[in-house]
Structure 1
Amino acid sequence: MHVLFVPSWYPADPTDFSGSFFIEQAQALVHAGHTVGVISVKGIPIYSPSQIRGKSAGIRHSVEVGINTYRLDKVLPFPKVPGGNERVILHAWRTLLTRYIRENGKPDVLHAHAMFPGGVVAHALSDEFGIPFIVTEHRPSSMDRLKEKWNGVHGRRAAMAASSLVAVARGFVPELNTAYGIDRDKWEYVPGLLSPQFQNIPTRTIPDGPFTFGHVSHLDPGKRVDRLIEAFAEQFRHVDNVRLRIAGDSVHKSGLVALAAQQGVADKVDFVGAIARENIVAEFSSAHVFVLPSVAEAFGTVLWEAMACGLPLVSTATWAGRNAIVETNGVLAGIDNIEELGQAMVYIKENFHSYDPAAIRAICVDHCGREAFISQYEAIYAKAITS
């Protein structure tokens, strides 16, 4: 099959990790024998002169890990005109698709990632070029966009016209069906792809040394790392040989370091900074348990990456947490409930040896490993092409 990705955002170049999972998904399909391309438009607000000065001119074509990729930066000149900027970027995407087809042939299916703007754009391109399309939604915020008049109309039209609608979290599905007002259960759950770095690794050896709770994120407020530090301090401030290891970096790091000192656990909390992607498996494997106390998560990629290494989990009861955790691989805690989070950490430490690392890894690979991901999307693409 020939699949063309229409992502709502995409890495600006091979060194940009924003949306890097799109590249991994495309590469997995290429490895399975399919042809995959990408057309990506980056919208630049008219009120952002620094971005305008840094924008690239014209269409940029590259072949990245076997994927023909076409990028175009476009200034968005109509911030107060409903649908104005959307029409501008649609024209840019139309330009990219025209060139893509001229140089690579007509794709069998368009795969939009996120409804706004990718799904709406794919709908328009589908009508114009006669190519079926599907939409995978990654962002819960898309439901808020439906409240806007222009986006609401065009988003719902795109949803009705799409061959398939995919959500990356099981709990996301009923919310999307309700938000889009779709009578039948058109939205369906298909898990994201486990990063290739975790696909064929051995189950990690349980580390020696102090019992370590690990956390990996960008440390933004939504990850609730402050709640994690407070829960850890409440339960383990006076317990020997227990540590909290926090990987990631952001402007919020200094405040979290100060919080650990204020809570009296500065000597028990390790802030290790940003971790290079090639070292991420080793980072997960250095902990005994992985903890994700977020206020909201859709798929929760890091939960599955930790499971791929064989780590049991503690997570708040987000869509991702409820989707990933069963009795044999971890414990759930209430969102923003410091007491429950701390109790879950205590429980999993006391019962750590009842969790089988190999069994935890198997749950992960069976659910979102390469074979599972490819087989589900092959069926979705085939449905689009034959319907």
Structure 2
Amino acid sequence: MHVLFVPSWYPADATDFSGSFFIEQAQALAMAGHDVGVISVKGVPVYSPAQLRGRTPGIRLSVESEIRTYRMDKVLPFPKVPGGNERVLLHAWRVLLTRYISENGRPDVLHAHAMFPAGVVTHALSDEFKIPFVVTEHRPSSMDRLNQKWNGVNGRRAALAASALVAVARGFAAELNDAYNIGQDKWQYVPGLLSPQFQDIPTRQIPDGPFIFGHVSHLDPGKRVDMLIEAFAEQFHNVDGVRLRIAGDSIHKAELETLAGSRGVGDKVDFVGAVQRKDIVAEFSSAHVFVLASVAEAFGTVLWEAMACGLPVVSTATWAGKNAVGEANGLLSAIDNREELGQALVTIRENFNSYVPEDIRAICVDHCGREAFTSQYEMLYTNAVQASRR
């Protein structure tokens, strides 16, 4: 199968981790024997020309981990004209697709990542080049754009025309079906891909020493690390041998450190800062339990990465939490409920020995490991190609 990714955003180069999971998904399909390419257009607002400084104009071709990648930057000159910038992006993506086909042959299927703008643009390219397409939605915020007239009309048209519509959480799929309201429940759940760093690792050895609750994120307010610290403080400030380990860095780190001190657990909370990707498996493995107290999560990549190491997890009942957590691998608590989160921390510590690391890892790999991911998308692609030939 020849698959061409059309992502709404994509890493600018090897040092950029924004959207790096798109590269990992392309690599997984390539490892399964498929021919995979990427065409990526970065839209630059007309009022932010500095973003283009030092960047090569025109089409940039590179081969990254055997994935042929065509990039182009495009100034978006119509900030207040509905559909104006989308037409500019369509022209740029059309140029890339034409060049791609001339050098690599015609893809069997186009795979758009996120409806706005890639899904809408890919619908137009599909019509013009007669190539079927599927859309995977990663961003809950996309539903808000359906309330805008131009986006609502064109997003729903693209949804109707797509061979398949994929959401990265079961609850997300249900809400997308309600939001699009196209007369059929076309959005379906297909898990994201477990990062390849976690694919073939052994189940971690349970660490010696104090009992550690671990957390990894960018420390954004939506992750509710503040509530995690407060819940930990309420339950464990007078308990020996229990620690909270927080990995990640942001402008909010200093205020979180201050909060831990003010709650009397400054000496029990370890802020380890940003962790390089090459060290992330070791970071997860250093904890006994992983905790994610977010207000909203779609797929919740970090939950699956922790489970790949064999850790039980505590998560708030986001789409991701409900997707990932069951009796065999952890506990759920209500969103924004400090007391319930604290009780979950106490309960999972008390029952820690009842969780089997090997079973937790198996749940993860069976759900979103490389083979599970590729087999489900292979089916979607095959169905799309067969339907286009009828």
Alignment of 1:12-31 (within 5 A): 12-31=12-31
Q: Tell me, what secondary structure is at the counterpart of 2:5?
A: strand
- Using the alignment, how far apart are the partners of 2:283 and 2:213 within structure 1? 12
1:101 and 2:94 correspond: no
- Using the alignment, how far apart are the partners of 2:37 and 2:72 within structure 1? 14
1:72 and 2:68 correspond: no
- Superposed CA deviations along residues 18-38 of structure 1, whole A, max 9, x for unmatched, are 111100000000011100000
Specify the alignment match of 1:315 in structure 2.
Answer: 315
Specify the alignment match of 1:157 in structure 2.
Answer: 157
Specify the alignment match of 1:11 in structure 2.
Answer: 11
Letter in 2 for 1:109: V
Q: Tell me, what secondary structure is at the counterpart of 2:170?
A: coil
Specify the alignment match of 1:373 in structure 2.
Answer: 373
Letter in 2 for 1:301: T
Letter in 2 for 1:107: P
Alignment of 1:220-239 (within 5 A): 220-239=220-239
- Using the alignment, how far apart are the partners of 1:55 and 1:234 within structure 2? 51
Specify the alignment match of 1:284 in structure 2.
Answer: 284
Q: Tell me, what secondary structure is at the counterpart of 1:4?
A: strand
| Pairwise CA distance, 1:52 | 3.7
- Superposed CA deviations along residues 235-291 of structure 1, whole A, max 9, x for unmatched, are 111110100000001111111111111111110000001111111000000000000
Specify the alignment match of 1:342 in structure 2.
Answer: 342
- Superposed CA deviations along residues 267-319 of structure 1, whole A, max 9, x for unmatched, are 00000011111110000000000000000000000000000000000000000
1:140 and 2:140 correspond: yes
Specify the alignment match of 1:190 in structure 2.
Answer: 190
- Using the alignment, how far apart are the partners of 1:89 and 1:187 within structure 2? 25
Q: Tell me, what secondary structure is at the counterpart of 1:171?
A: helix
- Superposed CA deviations along residues 116-147 of structure 1, whole A, max 9, x for unmatched, are 00100110000001100000000100100101
- Using the alignment, how far apart are the partners of 2:309 and 2:371 within structure 1? 18
Q: Tell me, what secondary structure is at the counterpart of 1:250?
A: coil
- Using the alignment, how far apart are the partners of 2:320 and 2:86 within structure 1? 31
1:385 and 2:385 correspond: yes
| Pairwise CA distance, 1:53 | 3.1
| Pairwise CA distance, 1:184 | 2.0
Specify the alignment match of 2:85 in structure 1.
Answer: 85
Of 43-52 and 159-168, more deviation after overlay is shown by 43-52
- Using the alignment, how far apart are the partners of 1:34 and 1:73 within structure 2? 27
The change in CA–CA distance for 1:360 and 1:151 in structure 2 (over 3 A counts) is: same
- Using the alignment, how far apart are the partners of 2:191 and 2:312 within structure 1? 19
- Contact 1:244–1:268 (Cα < 8 Å) also in 2: yes
Q: Tell me, what secondary structure is at the counterpart of 1:296?
A: coil
- Contact 1:310–1:361 (Cα < 8 Å) also in 2: yes
- Using the alignment, how far apart are the partners of 1:348 and 1:24 within structure 2? 32
Q: Tell me, what secondary structure is at the counterpart of 1:72?
A: strand
TM-score by length of 2: 0.98
Letter in 2 for 1:110: L
- Superposed CA deviations along residues 168-204 of structure 1, whole A, max 9, x for unmatched, are 0011111011111132221110000001111111100
- Using the alignment, how far apart are the partners of 1:54 and 1:158 within structure 2? 35
| Pairwise CA distance, 1:5 | 0.1
Q: Tell me, what secondary structure is at the counterpart of 1:36?
A: strand
Letter in 1 for 2:334: G
Letter in 2 for 1:304: W
Would you say how many aligned residue pairs link Structure 1 and Structure 2?
A: 387
Specify the alignment match of 1:206 in structure 2.
Answer: 206
Of 52-61 and 104-113, more deviation after overlay is shown by 52-61
- Using the alignment, how far apart are the partners of 1:24 and 1:131 within structure 2? 24
Moved over 2 A (4+): 52-56
Letter in 2 for 1:42: K
* % identity of equivalent residues: 79
Specify the alignment match of 1:271 in structure 2.
Answer: 271
| Pairwise CA distance, 1:55 | 4.2
| Pairwise CA distance, 1:56 | 3.4
Q: Tell me, what secondary structure is at the counterpart of 1:11?
A: coil
- Using the alignment, how far apart are the partners of 2:27 and 2:108 within structure 1? 17
- Using the alignment, how far apart are the partners of 1:2 and 1:193 within structure 2? 19
- Using the alignment, how far apart are the partners of 1:2 and 1:330 within structure 2? 39
**Cα RMSD for the two superposed structures:** 0.7
| Pairwise CA distance, 1:336 | 0.6
Q: Tell me, what secondary structure is at the counterpart of 1:321?
A: helix
Specify the alignment match of 2:262 in structure 1.
Answer: 262
| Pairwise CA distance, 1:81 | 0.6
- Contact 1:46–1:52 (Cα < 8 Å) also in 2: no
Letter in 1 for 2:29: L
- Contact 1:169–1:299 (Cα < 8 Å) also in 2: yes
